[in-house]
Structure 1
């Protein structure tokens, strides 16, 4: 079974000439990004400056890392609403560990592990107890947010000497470190999903879990693992966020789960699973970041920005729904050609 057969993305046979739908599905989101950047460069003051582009790249890094993990979950037809709260808990853990005198690398690892544990809980409840992912992660979203408030007594914990602050504020060869971390995350995610057996199993589970089980894939293990991946990515995002603000914020990550889901769906990953590409998620994250920054530069009020972002999310889900329903409608309306049997 090949990647294309699993994801259902092979080009239909028998079509001659240019297939607009085929190419739009693969390159349409990139065309949208280019058009949006061109528009913002014209109407938003100083949008195309190097400093602003670097700031955009830095600002999208956290959501992009969250969305990378969310892609794994959505590819298996799951959902994780708890990643925003996981950002808060992981950031608090990393800061508290660092303030205890633990070296920076171990503090970062502690934050990532905290996120992975949260993801493991989601995965076990979802796969082995067969609970609905939406309900499970909605519950853990609330629990983790409460845990973040409990660990900080409801107040930010500021550390001006935070030993891992460079992961949020430093530069590497003139590029912000969060951007470098984001690039590494996407390179690893691309390799795992596109070039490994595990990646094929993720697509297979999302495409048809029962068929995957009959093919010998451990569906429960794969389902659990994708939530661990999402949790680890949220943990890393939480560490970067805390490093940027040099503090542990119990309110960190509020609403981030919606931005992550929007980026994944904008990037072409189907909410019903089994179809999508990690590079599409990156482009979706960039689109949201460019849109947000452009609106800020144009002095659009914050509440109007929320309205526009909500419309974008609804449009993304609507487009995904239409893409999913269109092949079904074609199959229902198609009239098979009857072949004559025998002569005369």
Structure 2
């Protein structure tokens, strides 16, 4: 008697396969729909504009992603970016620093903030949401003190009565405005960083330890992983990436705007969470975050070109986020 069990062939098209590629399909349908209504949408100049406009959100989304991978959550990334924006603008306009020292100063300020967050979360064991929320409020007040709450530009009157006579160096402004072979420099920077992070997290032992730390810190520690060191490194990386976003904003607008980082937290977190649906990963990952940021950028750019009222944009972003999470975590979910 033949007791061998015969399995029916799996259908080529399945719900799991649909979930895995649904966001890519929706993105293509969005592009096709916007292009049919407004042919200028798919012009190279507009597509590059989308990439440039989403570069900072993608960069901060990567900052959120790195912290999430290691089991943390950094609510201070928007404030960190804003602080780096003010710090780099102050160094250039008030202290007359050159482009390279200014950029390094901005990045180091972000790394220091990340280290401070790590001290609160890893060493003092304050819950990450509470610790980074406290850092967010702390930075929100700190960045206003040097200029008395004013934005930084040439001719700024400082609280001590002196006037800032420095200007933004062309080399610094090039970081946010220049193009290389027609591609905006911020887009190239984000692409290089995203590729480096993807290689680190997906192709190295260090990346596996990052994910193990975030998945089950106690088990990873029992296996010999230095989890405290990895979580500290995650917060430092998160702060540095967020600071780079702030420096790019300062270079793009040529002004230290005190409200320049106002919406960055929600936009970057939204891109990261939408990324959970990419490839049905159901976890933070680098590719998903970049695709999530691009998805939101395409959506908002298309709505703008179709003259949809600006005050509906937050509603649309929220709707997309809820839809992506429902697609990822809803009933009947599965992996391809």
User: TM-score normalised to the size of structure 2?
Assistant: 0.86
Give the aligned length. 312
Do the aligned partners of 1:207 and 1:274 also contact (CA within 8 Å) in 2? no
1:206-256 residue CA offsets vs partner (Å, 9 max, x unmatched): 221121111111222211211111111110000000111101111111121
Work out which of the residue numbers 67, 84, 88 in structure 2 matches 1:94: 88
Structure 1 residue 101, shift from structure 2 partner: 2.9
The answer as to whether partners of 2:88 and 2:102 remain within 8 angstroms in 1 is yes
Q: 1:213 to 1:19 in 2, by over 3 A?
A: farther
The secondary structure found in structure 2 opposite 1:157 is coil
- State the match for 1:303 in structure 2: 311
The answer to whether 1:244 aligns with 2:252 is: yes
> Is the alpha carbon distance of 1:156 and 1:319 closer, same or farther for their aligned partners in structure 2, counting shifts above 3 Å?
same
1:53 and 2:47 correspond: yes
- CA–CA separation in structure 2 for the residues paired with 1:277 and 1:252: 27
Q: Which residue of the partner structure matches residue 33 of structure 1?
A: 27
Q: How far apart in 2 are the matches of 1:320 and 1:154?
A: 42
Contact 2:19 2:327 (8 Å CA) reproduced: no
Q: Provide the aligned C-alpha RMSD in A.
A: 2.4
Alpha-carbon distance change, 274 to 105 in structure 1, aligned in 2, over 3 angstroms: farther
Taking the TM superposition and a 5 Å limit, the aligned residue runs for 1:56-205 are 56-99=50-93, 100-159=95-154, 161-163=167-169, 164-205=172-213
Equivalent-residue separation in structure 2 for 1:133 and 1:247 (angstroms): 32
- Say if 2:96 and 2:167, in contact at 8 Å, map to a contact too: no
Q: Is the 8 A contact 1:265 1:320 kept in 2?
A: no
Could you say which residue in structure 2 is the equivalent of 1:335?
A: none
User: 1-side partners of 2:42 and 2:80: how far apart?
Assistant: 34
Q: Structure 1 residue 42: deviation in Å?
A: 1.8
Q: Does 2:224 align with 1:230?
A: no
Unaligned runs of 5+ in 2: 1-7, 155-165
Residues 285/21 of structure 1: CA separation in 2 closer, same or farther (3 Å cut): same
Query: Cα offset for 1:15?
Result: 8.1
Aligned position for 2:158: none
Secondary structure at the counterpart of residue 150 of structure 1: coil
